Amino acid sequence: MFELGHIPYCHDPETGGYRISRHFFLPPASPTPAESPAALMMTSRLRSPIGLPLMGRAAREAMKAECAPPGGIRDYIGGGSVGRRDGFDGMFERLTSAIAVRRVCKLVYITNAPQEHVHLTVLPLGLVFAGRAWHVLAWSVLHQEIRRFKLGRIRKLTVIDEVFWPAAPARPG
C-alpha cells in the first residue's frame, strides 16, 4: 500500500494499473460561512408542496441542516427558522465574509423612527434570523454598544480593509 496526498493506493496486478484502497473515503465537503446559509435558504423553499420527486426527503434534510448547522457555521448564523431574503444575497455574502475575517464595515442605514439615513461604522459579529428578517449583530462605534441591524434597512455596505478583534471594545470610563 502506498500513499500520495494522504490517499492510499495500491498496484493492481490483474489490470497492471493502480487503484485507491476500497477502505478510503473522502471527507465530506465543508461549506463556507457564506455557502451554508445560502444552502439552508434554498432548501427551506423545498418545503412548499410542488410535487417534485424526492421532495419529502430533501425537505427533511433541509430541516436537519437548519437545526444543526455543520462545523463552525453556528458561529456565524443565529438560530431560528431560515427565512426568505430575496435581494440580499450580495450583502449577505459580504457580511458573512467580513464576519469570518473580522473586517470593519461602513453602513448607510435607515432608522426606524424617524426614518433617516445614518452613516455607521460597525464591527460585525454575527448574523441572526429573528422577527422574520435577517439582522447583523455588530458593535456600533456611534452607539458604543452591540446593536442589531436589520439587513433590509441597510442601503449601502462597504467592507473596509481594517481588521478588528472578536471582542467588542471596552466602554470608556
Per-residue pLDDT reduced to its tens digit, 41-97: 665 555 555 555 565 666 666 556 555 555 555 555 554 444 434 446 788 889 989
| 13 and 76 both lie in a single domain | no
| 92 and 23 both lie in a single domain | no
More confident residue, 55 or 112: 112
| pLDDT at 169 (0 to 100) | 53
Please name the residue that has the C-alpha cell 489490470.
Answer: 15
Do the domain assignments include residue 92?
A: yes
What is the model's pTM? Answer: 0.52
Confidence of residue 23 (pLDDT cuts 50, 70, 90): confident
| pLDDT at 51 (0 to 100) | 54
Q: Dihedral of CA 25/70/35/43: which sign? A: positive
Do the domain assignments include residue 9?
A: yes
**CATH number, residue 88:** 2.30.30
Q: Are 18 and 12 in contact (CB under 8 A)?
A: yes
| 81 and 157 both lie in a single domain | yes
Structurally, how many domains does the chain consist of? 2
Q: What percentage of the chain carries pLDDT values higher than 70?
A: 55
The whole-number average pLDDT for the span 31-36 is 65
Task: Provide the 3-class DSSP secondary structure of residue 144.
Answer: coil
More confident residue, 101 or 20: 101
More confident residue, 125 or 9: 125
| pLDDT at 153 (0 to 100) | 93
| 26 and 79 both lie in a single domain | no
Helices marked H in the chain: 35-44, 55-67, 89-101
More confident residue, 170 or 57: 57
Asked whether residue 154 carries a pLDDT value surpassing 90, the answer given is yes
Do the domain assignments include residue 8?
A: yes
More confident residue, 165 or 77: 165
CA angle 82, 87, 90 (to 5 degrees): 90
Do the domain assignments include residue 39?
A: no
Range of the domain at 22: 1-30
